Amino acid sequence: MSEAFSGPVAGHVPVLRLGDVLMVTLQGDLHDSTAQQLQQDLAETITHSGATGVIIDISGVEIVDSFLGRVLAEIAAQASLLAARTVVVGMRPAVAITLVELGLTLPGLRTALSTEVAMDLLTQGAPRVGVRRESP
Amino acid sequence: MPTGAGVEARLPIRSDMDLVWVRQHVRQAAAQLGFGLVDQTKLVTAASELARNTLVHGGGGHMESEPVVSGGVRGLRLTFSDEGPGIADVERALSDGYTSGGGLGMGLGGARRLVHDFAIETVPGAGTTVRVTSWTARPPRQREEH
């Protein structure tokens, strides 16, 4: 589909902070090692920053295989242990169709169609179970 | 009808960098042969699973890619070969949830669901070859409209 040739991307994926929410944008074809690095980076960033939400934008990702699916699920699980909620944003329709056929429905993964909706979910939205955020 | 130029290839699978090249190659080859977006995505995902198996379980190997034609329908055939330990129990390896590599256990069985034809040959101690083919059109498939 895309004519532009995008070479392998290795290294770190930038983690941006917007208030209490961390934002990550995945683009193109990720190395396994880059995905694993991101998983570690996010755990550390959540701990340091005290962020309560993580948004992972995968609208630029052409395929999610079982490896990347597992990394996303693990990021959500570890964020949850660190008192942050994760929303995966912008999954392409072809990716969703493929994941279901692959057998990966990722039930623990929260998704949203746009970053805006994800932000709403994380900043007000769904009831928090037994957690109250201190706000000024 | 396009020739096989750019589709026919033999790619090494020795590192996670090679997995990226395999995916890029399969996507470009499938696009060139006229696969639709969903079918491209399925085939690239299957290739990624199979290439990772070749790397992780087979200790590395290679993928061969070739265009095929049957009954006027174009297809893409991908063959993943390694000379690793082989698979002792293929049926079990194909079942969902079975994993020996720390994954989710969806690799082999999942890849089989994502392609039209799937064949596996494995000899314990001598290696594994997985050959998959997907076609740009399937006769029984109805046209979908949105």
Q: Which pair of structure tokens corresponds to residue B6?
A: 């750019």
Amino acid B121 reads E
pLDDT bracket for residue B4 (50, 70, 90): low
CATH number of the domain within which A55 lies: 3.30.750.24
Return the percentage of chain B with pLDDT > 70, whole number.
Answer: 84
ipTM of the prediction = 0.84
Is residue A72 in a domain? yes
Decide if A7 is inside a domain.
no
Nearest-CA distance from A110 to chain B in Å? 19
Q: What is the model's pLDDT at position B92?
A: 81
pLDDT band at A3 (very low <50, low <70, confident <90, very high): very low
The CA distance from A65 to the nearest CA of chain B, in Å, is 6
CA separation for the pair B86, A108 (Å, rounded): 34
Domain carrying residue A70: 15-112
User: In chain B, what are the domains?
Assistant: 11-135 (3.30.565.10)
Neighbouring-strand partners of residue B61? B13, B82
Report pLDDT digits (tens) over A109-118.
Answer: 999 999 999 9
Q: Which residues in chain B are contacts of A97 at CB distance < 8 A?
A: 38, 41-42
Q: Cβ B52–A103 below 8 Å, yes or no?
A: no
**Sequential DSSP letters for A9-35:** B-SPPPEEEETTEEEEEEES-B-HHHH
Q: Is residue A125 in a domain?
A: no
> Residue B37: which of A10, A33, A94 has the nearest Cβ?
A94
- Which one of A66, A70, A72, A106 makes the best mutation probe of the B interface by having the most chain B beta carbons within 10 Å? A66
What is the per-residue pLDDT across A8-49, written as a single tens digit (0 to 9) for each?
556 789 999 999 999 999 998 889 999 999 999 999 999 999
Contact B110 A104 (CB under 8 A): yes
**Residue A58 contacts by C-beta under 8 Å, 6 or more apart in sequence?**
A26, A64, A72, A88, A89, A90, A91, A92, A95
Interval B84-131: pLDDT, tens: 998 888 888 887 665 555 454 557 888 999 999 999 999 999 999 999
